[in-house]
């Protein structure tokens, strides 16, 4: 369901619960927190224009800082905001050091591991060509579209309120903007003679 509830199902509350468990001595709490929040932090870092390796470093550094500063975060409910703010600050610092994304370095947003069950090398090559074409057109979208699609693509049940906060967008505009962005991407693909729509 896309309806965002301010209660137990929000990402902020899930993050707070996991962080509280971690501080209470349950090491699995940190693993849960990382699993829940990393996709959003990744999108935040990439939104600042960082290339793959720099974004990865920033997100990893954010988690290290959380471990270091965990005792100083008085309210577990604020941990998500703390993580987003820390990621943004580190990303801005990294950008100022010159780690901006190169124009062609867009295809690494969701690096795929080689699939050992692929039916044939030929099909793998065709799939890779389709992926490259998708990312080629993805790179032509506006920064707003790219940031939004990255943030939502990583989450099974995106928390629109949190995505809106991270990307600085009104929560009511997330769904319509997502629809427009996907429509632009689809139009670019179906008008490209190299693209074949799945049957």
| 19-33, 49-63, 120-134, 168-182: the lowest-pLDDT one | 120-134
Whole-number pLDDT of residue 161: 77
- Cβ-defined contacts of 141-148 (< 8 Å, 24+): 141/181, 141/184, 141/185, 142/181, 143/47, 144/169, 144/177, 144/181, 145/177, 145/180, 145/181, 145/184, 145/185, 146/46, 146/47, 147/43, 147/46, 147/47, 148/174, 148/177, 148/178, 148/181
pTM (predicted TM-score)? 0.53
The mean per-residue pLDDT over the stretch 135-142 comes to 83
Average pLDDT of the residues in 136-165: 75
Give residue 168's region: left, alpha or beta (phi > 0; psi -120 to 50): left
Mean pLDDT of the chain: 74
Encode pLDDT of 18-72 as tens digits. Answer: 999 988 888 788 888 888 888 888 888 888 888 888 888 888 889 988 888 888 8
pLDDT tens-digit readout, 89-119: 888 888 877 655 444 444 443 444 444 444 4
Whether the Cβ atoms of residue 160 and residue 171 lie closer than 8 Å to each other: yes
Output the pLDDT for position 18: 92
5 or 183: which carries more pLDDT confidence?
Answer: 183
How far apart, in Å, are the Cα atoms of 83 and each of 2, 3, 13, 46?
23, 24, 14, 15
Whether the per-residue pLDDT at 156 is higher than 70: the answer is no
Query: Hunting for tokens 């988690």 — which residue is that?
Result: 63
Q: Cα(28)–Cα(73) distance, rounded to whole angstroms? A: 19
Among 195, 94, 103, 114, CA closest to 146: 103
- Residue range 137-166: mean pLDDT, rounded: 75
Using CA atoms, how far apart are residues 199 and 182, in angstroms rounded to an integer? 19
For residue 136, CA distances in Å to 36, 75, 140 come to 29, 43, 7
Residue 196 has pLDDT above 70, yes or no: no
Angle of the 11-23 helix axis to the 160-167 helix axis, nearest 10: 90
What would the mean pLDDT of 129-135 be, rounded to a whole number? 71
Paired tokens of 40: 């959003």
Degrees, nearest 5: CA angle 62-104-156: 50
- Residue spans per domain, the chain: 11-190
CA distances from 51 to 45, 71, 96, 179 (A): 9, 32, 13, 26
Whether pLDDT at 195 is above 80: no
Which of the two residues, 42 and 155, has the higher pLDDT score? 42
């Amino acid at each position: 369901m896309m309806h965002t509830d301010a209660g137990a199902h929000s990402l902020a509350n899930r993050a707070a619960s996991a962080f509280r468990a971690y501080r209470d001595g349950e090491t699995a709490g940190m693993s849960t927190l990382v699993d829940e929040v990393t996709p959003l932090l990744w999108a935040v870092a990439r939104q600042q224009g960082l290339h793959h390796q720099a974004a990865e470093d920033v997100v990893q550094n954010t988690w290290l800082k959380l471990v270091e500063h965990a005792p100083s975060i008085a309210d577990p409910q604020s941990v998500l905001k703390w993580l987003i703010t820390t990621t943004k600050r580190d990303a801005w610092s990294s950008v100022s050091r010159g780690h901006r994304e190169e124009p062609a370095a867009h295809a690494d947003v969701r690096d795929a591991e080689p699939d050992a069950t692929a039916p044939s090398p030929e099909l793998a090559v065709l799939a890779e060509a389709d992926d490259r074409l998708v990312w080629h057109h993805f790179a032509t979208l506006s920064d707003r579209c790219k940031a939004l699609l990255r943030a939502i693509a990583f989450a099974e049940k995106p928390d629109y309120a949190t995505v809106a906060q991270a990307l600085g967008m009104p929560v009511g505009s997330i769904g319509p903007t997502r629809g427009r962005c996907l429509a632009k991407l689809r139009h670019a693909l179906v008008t490209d003679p190299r693209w074949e729509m799945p049957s």
